[in-house]
Amino acid sequence: MSERAKRSYDASGVAYVAAASVKQFPKPHRPEVVFAGRSNVGKSTLVNALSRRKSLARTSKTPGKTRLVFFYELSEDYYYVDLPGYGYAKTSRGEQDAFSKVTNDYFENDRPIAIVLLLLDIRRGFGKLDLEMLDYLCHFDIDWQVVLTKADKLSRQAALKAEKDVMEVIRDYAERYQKTARPPLSVSAGQSPRDLRMQRLEEEILDFVEKARSN
Residue 41 binds which entry of Mg ion, ligand GTP, none, CB below 5-8 Å type-dependent: ligand GTP
Number of residues that bind Mg ion (CB under 5 A): 4
Which of the listed partners (ligand GTP, Mg ion, none) does 64 bind, with a CB threshold of 5 to 8 Å by partner kind? ligand GTP
149 binds, among Mg ion, ligand GTP, none (CB under 5 to 8 A by kind): ligand GTP
186 lies in the binding site for Mg ion (CB under 5 A): no
What is the rounded end-to-end Cα distance, in angstroms, of the chain?
35
CB of 30 to ligand GTP, least distance (A): 22
> For the window 16-55, what string marks contact with Mg ion as x by the rule CB under 5 A?
---------------------------xx-----------
Give the per-residue contact string, 16-55, with ligand GTP (x = CB under 6 A; - = no): ---------------------x-xxxxxxx----------
Long-range contacts of 49-54 (CB under 8 A, 24+ apart): 49/187, 49/189, 49/191, 49/193, 49/198, 50/80, 50/193, 50/198, 50/201, 50/202, 50/205, 51/14, 51/80, 52/193, 53/10, 53/12, 53/14
Cα–Cα distance for residue pair 23/2, rounded to 1 Å: 9
* Chain residues 168-207 in contact with ligand GTP, contact rule CB under 6 A: 188-189
Verify binding: residue 66, Mg ion, rule CB under 5 A.
yes
Residue 40 interaction partner, one of Mg ion, ligand GTP, none, beta carbon < 5-8 Å per kind = ligand GTP
Site string for ligand GTP, 107-146 (x = CB under 6 A): ----------------------------------------
User: In the chain, where does DSSP find H-type helix?
Assistant: 43-50, 101-108, 128-139, 156-176, 196-214
Which C-beta is closer to ligand GTP: that of 185 or that of 212? 185
* Side-chain half-sphere CA neighbours of 64 within 13 A: 9
Of these partners, Mg ion, ligand GTP, none, which one is at the site of residue 111 (CB under 5 to 8 Å by kind)? none
CB 25 within 8 A of CB 34: no
Under 8 Å CB-to-CB from 60, ≥6 apart: which residues?
none
Please, are residues 93 and 71 in contact by the beta-carbon 8 Å criterion?
no
